Amino acid sequence: MSTSVRDLACQEIVELVTEYLEGTMDGGLRAAFEAHLAGCAACSRYLEQIEATIRIAGTVRADALSDELRAGLLEAFRGFAPGPGKEET
C-alpha cells in the first residue's frame, strides 16, 4: 500500500483541476493527480479541454469556466461507468 500516492476518484480530479492548473497543489497530491490522469482518458480529456479554454480565455480562473465542462464530464462518466449501479434506461 502506497502512502505517497493515494487513489483519486474522477470526481476529485474534477474538484482539484483548478488547484492543479494554478499550481497551488502540494507535491503528493499533484503526483496522485497526475497518476490518475495517466490512467484515465476521461480526466485527461477534461484537463485538455480546460487548458484549451484557458489558452483562449487567457486566464487560469478555471473555476469561472469549469461548471459546464464539469457537468459534461460527470455526464460522460455516467455513460461508461462500469460495474454495479450502471443505469440503463
Identify the residue whose cell numbers are 487548458. 51
Regarding 31 and contact with Zn ion (CB under 5 A), the answer is no
Q: Output the smallest distance, CB 36 to Zn ion, in A.
A: 6
* Residue 71 DSSP code: H
Q: Is 74 in the site for Zn ion (CB under 5 A)?
A: no
Grid cell locating 65:
469556466
State whether residue 23 is helix, strand or coil: coil
Give min distance, CB of 40 to Zn ion, in A: 3
Report if residue 40 touches Zn ion, rule: CB under 5 A. yes
Question: Which residues in this chain contact Zn ion in the complex, by CB under 5 A?
Answer: 10, 40, 43
